[in-house]
Amino acid sequence: MSSAIALLGQPNSGKSTLFNALTGAHQHVGNWPGKTVEKNEGSFDYEGKKIKVIDLPGTYSLAANSDEEIVTRDYIAGQEADTVCILADSSQLERSLFMLADYAGIRVPALLLLNMMDVAKVQGKNIDAKKISKKLGISVIPFVAQDKKNYNEFLSTVSAKQKAYPDYSVLEEEYKKEFGEKYADVCRILPENGIGVYSPCWLFAKLVEKDPVAMQLVEDKIGSGKYSELNKILSGIKDGSSRTGSCKFAWIDAILEGSVKDSGSGLLRSKFDRIATSKRWGKPLAIAIMLGALILSIIFGIPFMMLGSYIPGLAAPVADALLEAGAHPLLVTVLCDGIWTAVGFALAMSGYIFGASIAFGLLEEVGYMARISYVFDNTMRKLGLHGKAVMPFICSFGCNIAGSSGTRVLDTWSQRMTAIALSWVVPCGSTWGVVGLIGSVFFGPGVIVVILLMFAISALHLFITSKVFGRKLLKPSDRTGIIMELPPYHKPRWGALAKHGLIKMKEALKRALIVITLISVALSLLSYSESGDFTESILGRIGEAIEPVTMFFGLRCQTFIAWIGSMMAKEGALGVLASTFSRDSSVMHALATMKSNPVDNTALVDLLKTALTKPEALSFLFAFYFNMPCLMALSATLHETRSKKWTFLVAGYYVVMSLLIAAIVYHVACLIF
């Protein structure tokens, strides 16, 4: 029989270092069923036995505050793991043992790893693991996760099956002291032996803490009659969580008493940290470092982007070969213009995702991300969010897909949904190519004014959107303020970062390929005509028929189609414009050639100048800029939020807003020019 262990610990406790060291290449990343929480699994061999490892999400406690914590608790209670390895950071032992204190009372075998013993020693702390072990009744192992040479004790302990769970009798005494008779009163109503692995003591604490999941569990078990009796007692207990919290820390103190000698001093803040959190210099420093990270993302992603932009160029020779072999032109269009181009777009975009997850993962890993959140907290509060939400906005300047997966750091679903909805205002990297080109064709240096106007409207848009969706999405209870650890600075682990980047890239590529292939096949079919003249295709005819309507927004048939086409991939707008105006190729073919050959725009420039008026050009630019991000970003948002309703509601809102802004800009511009 194979055995399994689970790694449990607070963020920055060294859990993932241990996980990577144990499992090496034998890893698998998935999602916990029904949740957007990453599930990391792996395995290793020890003395001929295969041991499975689950890396549980890093959370501060086992309360049901977030999906991560619920997933963690359910997994432990399911007893799939033979042993739960609880990690604590020895350099912050008291606080990081809170996880153990929250675990105490769960009757699943566990052992305690006192990680970062080396750091603790440098700080002048002397920790006696044997004494702690005696008090807890479980194995306690001094540990340094970075140093594989000292894994022996851990490996031999974990492979010999552990049977003991932490002794919680002293914790129970603390509860009795704090809550008096009420402890016994509650336990009398609870099943004598607890529920499953949860002891009455653990359930008592969770009930007093008003933990909704635990309350439901108890109600289902004892029936509503007894539960209302229980509720009567519980309603008489105020400030439950801080009181049980005090008990838990009293228990931790009792365990550490006589086992820890601390001759160290308090916090020593580096000069850098003072600057990073300073009121005057914190923001400029953060902006500079984030700009650096954006540039770094693009540099890391360049190999994939180049590969991606090279692929469409190969479409033409393949198409010629197929035509020569006698394939039907429609089939060739779909295959070469449609699918082939799609692969190129998807690859280029996922290249950026790879770069961004390394660059921003780096900021997170060295500990700087928390400082960025700290200095931008006040700004984000104005949008109903808090400092941790700043990252999705920054990532969106590269690509909105990276932005939406960046919201995972937020506490609640509604905060995530709101942050994504707002981050869609941020224009991605591809937007600028189109705005820059068309803007400068029509306005020369005046394009700066156009862009400044776009920024001004963006700020307004952000404000309106936060009001529109904030009111519905963020109830007062969801508007939680920041509670954030500013971790000590660490050295990054490049191997783990690169691995994570590749996983993210694969995920994005897979999803993007499906979406973009479907769309591009549809688009190439709709814009196909025997003669090659766009106006004779289905799309062309529809476009012309509804032009009287779209002209209200200042969009002609061609610019309207380009606006729609840009939803597939933002840079695609230029290609669509070229093809619809030049009347000599299909929309998809144009997308392909624009992508592979973005510099050769002179023909397009001449075409545009004669075909569009200035107000029309402005209207298109604003409709394009404020439209929802591409469909790949939509699909990523759907994946992250798991809410069709809200994702499509937000998408519809953006489409309407972009047309509205275009209409206003057009009619005002008509008065000026």
Partner 1 sequence: MNLTEAKEGTRGRIRSVGGTPEYQRRITSVGLTPGCVFNVIQNRTKQPVLIYARNTQIALDRSDCEKIETEVVS
- Residues at the site binding partner 1, with contacts judged by CB under 8 A: 59-61, 63, 65, 91-95, 98, 102, 209-211, 239-246, 248-249, 266-267, 269, 277, 279, 370, 373-375, 377-378, 381, 386-387, 411, 477, 480-487
With vertex at residue 374, the alpha carbon angle to CA 372 and CA 377, rounded to the nearest 5 degrees, is 105
> Given the complex with partner 1, which of 63 and 618 has the nearer CB atom?
63
The number of angstroms, rounded, from the C-alpha of 453 to the middle of its chain's C-alpha atoms is: 30
What is the spatial distance between Cα 623 and Cα 615, in angstroms, rounded to a whole number?
12
Q: Is the dihedral of CA 382, 385, 389, 395 positive or negative?
A: negative
Return the structure tokens found at 156: 């031999």
Q: What is the nearest approach in angstroms of partner 1 to the Cβ of residue 368?
A: 13
Name the residue nearer to partner 1 (CB basis): 33 or 481.
481
* Nearer Cβ to partner 1 (102/640): 102
Please name the residues in contact with 524: beta carbons below 8 A apart, sequence gap of 6 or more: 333, 334, 337, 338, 586, 587, 588, 589
Following DSSP, what letter does each residue of 7-39 receive, concatenated? EEE-TTSSHHHHHHHHHTT-EEEEE-TTS--EE
Q: What phi and psi, each to the nearest 5 degrees, are found at residue 420?
A: -65, -45
Which pair of structure tokens corresponds to residue 280?
């005057």
Nearer to partner 1, 250 or 608 (CB): 250
CA distance 337 to 590: 8
Task: Give CA–CA dist 285/101, Å, rounded.
Answer: 39
* CB closer to partner 1 out of 247 and 576: 247
* Nearer to partner 1 (CB atom), residue 14 or residue 629: 14
Written as six digits, the tokens of 452 are: 């400044």
Shortest spacing between CB 459 and partner 1, in angstroms: 19
Q: How far is the CB of 409 from partner 1 (least distance, A)?
A: 14
Nearer to partner 1 by C-beta: 116 or 590? Answer: 116
Of 635, 612, 631, whose CA–CA distance to 560 is shortest? 612
- 234 vs 339, which CB is nearer to partner 1? 234
CA–CA dist 53, 154 (Å, integer): 14
Q: Could you tell me the two tokens for 587?
A: 């929309």
How many Å apart are CA 137 and CA 129, to the nearest integer? 12
Give me the residues paired with residue 113 across strands.
87, 141
Least spacing, CB of residue 26 vs partner 1, in Å = 32
Residue closer to partner 1, measured from CB, 207 or 438:
207
Closer CB to partner 1, 67 or 616, in the complex: 67
Cβ proximity to partner 1: between 153 and 253 the closer is: 253
Length of the chain: 673
Name the residue nearer to partner 1 (CB basis): 211 or 640: 211
User: Minimum distance between the CB of residue 537 and partner 1, rounded to whole angstroms?
Assistant: 56
Task: List, in order, residues 6 or more apart from 441 with CB less than 8 Å away.
Answer: 605, 608, 609, 617
Give least dist CB 126 to partner 1, A: 15
Distance (Å, rounded) from C-alpha 362 to C-alpha 369?
Answer: 9
Residue 71 burial by Cβ neighbours in a 10 Å radius (0-12, 13-18, 19+)? buried
Residue in 143, 99, 146, 148 with CA at minimum distance from that of residue 121 = 143
Q: Which is nearer to partner 1, 210 or 506 (CB)?
A: 210
Q: C-beta of 535: minimal distance to partner 1 in Å?
A: 58
From residue 344, alpha-carbon distances to 36, 255, 395, 403, 631 in Å are 28, 59, 22, 21, 15
What is d(CA 101, CA 245) in angstroms, rounded to the nearest whole number?
A: 9
Q: Is 39 exposed, middle or buried (0-12, 13-18, 19+ CB in 10 A)?
A: middle
CB of 662 to partner 1, least distance (A): 37
Please, what is the angle between helix 631-641 and helix 644-672, to 10°? 140
Could you tell me the smallest distance in angstroms from the CB atom of residue 274 to partner 1?
9
Most distant CA pair in the chain: distance in Å? 90
State which residue, 206 or 595, has the beta carbon closest to partner 1: 206
Residue ranges of alpha helices (H) inside 386-428 are 390-396, 400-405, 413-423
Between the CA atoms of 15, 16, 22 and 24, what dihedral angle is there, to the nearest 10 degrees? 180
Name the residue nearer to partner 1 (CB basis): 235 or 602. 235
Smallest distance from partner 1 to CB 11, Å: 10
Q: Check: CB of residue 373 under 8 Å from CB of residue 482.
A: yes
**Torsion angle, CA of 72/77/81/82, rounded to 10 degrees?**
140
Minimum Å gap between C-beta 13 and partner 1 is 12
Integer Cα distance of 162 and 5 in angstroms: 10
Q: Report in angstroms how near the CB of residue 244 gets to partner 1 at its nearest.
A: 8
CB of 238 to partner 1, least distance (A): 10
Query: Cα-flanking dihedrals φ and ψ of residue 451, to 5°?
Result: -65, -40
CB 150, min distance to partner 1, A: 23
Min CB(264)–partner 1 separation in Å: 9
Closer residue to partner 1 in complex, CB, 398/487: 487
Structure letter (DSSP) for residue 338: I
Nearer to partner 1, 42 or 487 (CB): 487
- Residue 572 beta carbon to partner 1: minimum distance, rounded to whole angstroms: 42
Minimum Å gap between C-beta 486 and partner 1 is 4
